[in-house]
Structure 1
Amino acid sequence: MNHRLVQNAIIRGRTDNRSFIGDQLDDCSDFSSLFYRLPFERGFLTNWGVERTIWDRLYKNVLKVDSKESRLVITEPCFNLPTIQEAYDQMIFEEYEFASCYRTIGPQLCIFNDLGSLFGDKPGSVPDCSVVVDSGFSFTHIVPFVKGKPVAKAIRRINLGGKLLTNQLKETVSFRHYDMMEETYIINQVKETCCFVSRDIYSDLDICRKSYRENTIIQEYVLPDFTHHSQGHVRPKQEKQKQSDQTLDRSVDQILPMNNERFMIPEILFNPSDIGMNQAGIPEAISQAIEACEPEYHGLLYANIVLVGGNAKLNGYRERIEQDLRVMVPSEYELRLAVPEDPIGYAWKGGNRLASLGTKADLQKRFVTRKEYMEYGSDICRRRFNSL
């Protein structure tokens, strides 16, 4: 079971003056000042021209599949707009002519996995209640499930994701060190390499104020020059007695110091008010979502919280959420949180498991065939795919 992540974007390089579509970014040799054309805005598909170009590249050159002989599993954000849903259906069945399709939300696919094994329970066991916290590129959704179905009234959305963190880091670095406002790709790498979630922010801030020798948090990130090295990296911390060598290195390498930026940027996920957003942080939103469900389910929901999405890869992410939640959760409830080995591909894994292991009757109940669509139009998609 293999999968491959492909950039859902058209990216134009500065030096080679060409556009890279999806997987073609692997051919890029200079990642400085890349310009991104994204089909999604705030998590909603708004530019079908860009998306169509990416799909053409994906199906013909990457997957090399015949859409007329294939079935498609595709995800959409919670409470997607009806006009966007209809555009999905038209594109899938009329333009690409897929044999069948299942359109759903990412968290729904996640629960098709073996959730029991994540918590050390009996393999194959499926909890009656679970909560999927999906924190990705554009937003964070908290979706409680009861007996395999999402509880619509309890779903919470936070307009925070990896894109906002990267943009915030760009602004911070540009103000303190170098102008990096055009370096989205490089700063995203810096974020993924250096950033972590603090469990005691005030203690860590005190450490950041110490001298270089005593500061255990500061890192020196060597920026790529695209001549000698195309990837940035963290340089091992130098001792004071090697400062002369360090000075010599700085004349060659461009160093980006990462001090309290390492944890203050991810802190936005927990305190959006730090940047003026009037929204709850992730732990508070989880508590709000669960409390919106029927009281008899609360204990089971708190005991089965799954963290997925790219932000779940941040060091200390699970531990911080658990720490903050423990203060909000009644002491008689067991609190269990788990992060899959691949939190980014966990929804794909669930969709693959459904398509390969699901019974014929189950697949017929979920998928819409092209024949059905051509007969009934988007009405049948609306009825069959509407799980919220």
Structure 2
Amino acid sequence: MTGGSGVVVIDNGGGLLKAGFGGDQEPIAVVPNCMAKPPGGNTKKWLVADQLQADDVDVTGMTLKRPIDRGYLINTEVQREVWERVVRNLLKVDPNNSSLLLVEPMFNPPALQHATDELVFEEFGFKSLCVADAPSLVHLYEASRQPTLFRAQCSLVVDCGFSFTHASPVLQNFTLNYGVRRMDLGGKALTNYLKELVSYRSLNVMDETLLIDDAKEKLCFVSLDVPGDLRLARLSFKDNPFRCSYILPDGITYKKGFVKDMDDALRYCSLPLNEESDRKDHGLETNKFEDRKKPELSQNEFVLTNERFLVPEMLFHPIDLGINQAGLAECIVRAVQACHPYLQPVLFESIILTGGSTLFPRFAERLERELRPLVPDDYQPNSWCLERWIHFGLQP
């Protein structure tokens, strides 16, 4: 059976693979782009893509094989297994009767392009292949929904992906390669940083990539006032508005990790943003450090407090963590300034956000605040088009 359009669409991300049919509003499959094997010897079978999402699968301590490293396809054997599972089992299509639209990473080397072509035509036998980069597709999709963007014919696509973060100017559906600027930080680096913080403060989770990924996506958020939130995070565990527990699977009662109390996890949403007086009015005195006794934790849970906003902070101020790179706002400004002066006002006012890391709460607000001092006063903040988009229109 083949989809109605006969066009298979695959967004082959380093962390998640999104697949569906051309013309559909949402993808049919959003699965981990990897293979994994449970611990316990060589008899265990490798699980692929959606098999890792099954309710009865415990992902604790799994060994991972990813086809994509640092943004590029380096293991075609693993990729073939993942595509086989997605194309044959989830999409249920015959590649011989289908065309493929494939999202390719920016500046993909010719040797890797050739390896991808072999996989598409020789291994799967697709009728035809159309390769597109993510920024041009994002612009095309958003322009179809935003009349202002459609008339402007250009935008700046900020893609915070698994391996990299790119700021890419797009003009008339073509990415201006000379203006693209890259940060060597993405979702993978954030997950690794969270693993280090939890392992240092609570328990060793360095081998729990999938579980820490889940904890990051459910619990992390972007701070609009880092110094103030750091002071709040020093409160007692009882009064700390950021404190929450994540329960690891025990392999018997439950096989998936989960947040112990989601109401606790969302307490930060009701906090005033900046005013110190407002925080005091809400009973959040920043000089209150008594009663620091930590709650007793079981062997299969850990508590997060300031880690929840320090992890996404890497994207905005990596230098504070010893990473010698410019932050996201400066990366955007450099990308815009590399373009013709006539395009710069429109690019600053037409910023489109895409990628999993842009789904952190308050991401767009924080980016706007970071950009304001770096952007000419002629461009008003309330005119910026900060939108969120996931391929195929998948909603957060």
Q: TM-score, normalized by length of structure 2?
A: 0.79
In the alignment, what sits opposite 2:386? Answer: 338
In the alignment, what sits opposite 2:258? Answer: 232
In the alignment, what sits opposite 2:44? Answer: 17
Separation in 2 of the partners of 1:194 and 1:26?
Answer: 19
**Is the CA contact (8 Å cut-off) linking 2:52 and 2:59 kept in structure 1?**
no
Shift of 1:348: 8.5
Q: Which of 130, 149, 154 pairs up with 2:179?
A: 154
List runs of 5+ in structure 1 lacking aligned partners.
Answer: 350-388
- Match runs of 1:1-388 below 5 Å: 1=24, 2-3=26-27, 4-14=29-39, 17-27=44-54, 28-115=56-143, 117=145, 121=147, 125-229=150-254, 230-235=256-261, 236-237=263-264, 254-335=300-381, 336-340=384-388, 343-346=389-392
Shift of 1:116: 6.5
Aligned-residue identity in percent: 35
Separation in 2 of the partners of 1:116 and 1:344?
Answer: 15
* Count of paired positions: 336
Separation in 1 of the partners of 2:298 and 2:378?
Answer: 58
Can you list the C-alpha shifts for 1:297-331, whole angstroms capped at 9, x where unaligned? 11110111000000011011111111100111111
Separation in 2 of the partners of 1:116 and 1:302?
Answer: 19
Shift of 1:53: 1.7
Separation in 2 of the partners of 1:84 and 1:213?
Answer: 53
Can you list the C-alpha shifts for 1:176-202, whole angstroms capped at 9, x where unaligned? 110111111111111111111111111
Shift of 1:73: 0.6
List runs of 5+ in structure 2 lacking aligned partners.
Answer: 1-23, 266-290
Shift of 1:252: 5.9
Shift of 1:226: 3.1
Q: Would the alpha carbon gap of residues 178 and 251 (structure 1) be closer, same or farther in structure 2, given more than 3 Å must change?
A: closer
Separation in 2 of the partners of 1:137 and 1:125?
Answer: 28
**Is the CA contact (8 Å cut-off) linking 1:142 and 1:157 kept in structure 2?**
yes
**By percentage of residues, which structure has more helix?**
1
**Is the CA contact (8 Å cut-off) linking 1:198 and 1:263 kept in structure 2?**
yes
Q: Which structure has more RCO (C-alpha within 8 Å, separation ≥ 6)?
A: 1
SS in 1 for 2:31: coil
Shift of 1:152: 1.2
Q: Would the alpha carbon gap of residues 114 and 170 (structure 1) be closer, same or farther in structure 2, given more than 3 Å must change?
A: closer
In the alignment, what sits opposite 1:375? Answer: none
In the alignment, what sits opposite 1:362? Answer: none
**Is the CA contact (8 Å cut-off) linking 1:154 and 1:289 kept in structure 2?**
yes
Q: Would the alpha carbon gap of residues 67 and 348 (structure 1) be closer, same or farther in structure 2, given more than 3 Å must change?
A: farther
Q: Would the alpha carbon gap of residues 346 and 199 (structure 1) be closer, same or farther in structure 2, given more than 3 Å must change?
A: farther
Separation in 2 of the partners of 1:109 and 1:117?
Answer: 13
Q: CA RMSD in A?
A: 2.4
**Is the CA contact (8 Å cut-off) linking 1:106 and 1:347 kept in structure 2?**
no
SS in 1 for 2:323: coil
Separation in 2 of the partners of 1:95 and 1:225?
Answer: 40
**Is the CA contact (8 Å cut-off) linking 2:97 and 2:127 kept in structure 1?**
yes
Which stretch shifts more, 13-22 or 198-207? 13-22
Separation in 2 of the partners of 1:348 and 1:199?
Answer: 26
Separation in 1 of the partners of 2:115 and 2:189?
Answer: 27
Which stretch shifts more, 266-275 or 291-300? 266-275
**Is the CA contact (8 Å cut-off) linking 2:157 and 2:168 kept in structure 1?**
yes
**Is the CA contact (8 Å cut-off) linking 2:76 and 2:119 kept in structure 1?**
no
Can you list the C-alpha shifts for 1:247-289, whole angstroms capped at 9, x where unaligned? 7xx5767431111101111111111223332221111100110
SS in 1 for 2:83: helix
SS in 2 for 1:315: coil
SS in 2 for 1:112: helix
Separation in 2 of the partners of 1:346 and 1:274?
Answer: 35
Q: TM-score, normalized by length of structure 1?
A: 0.81
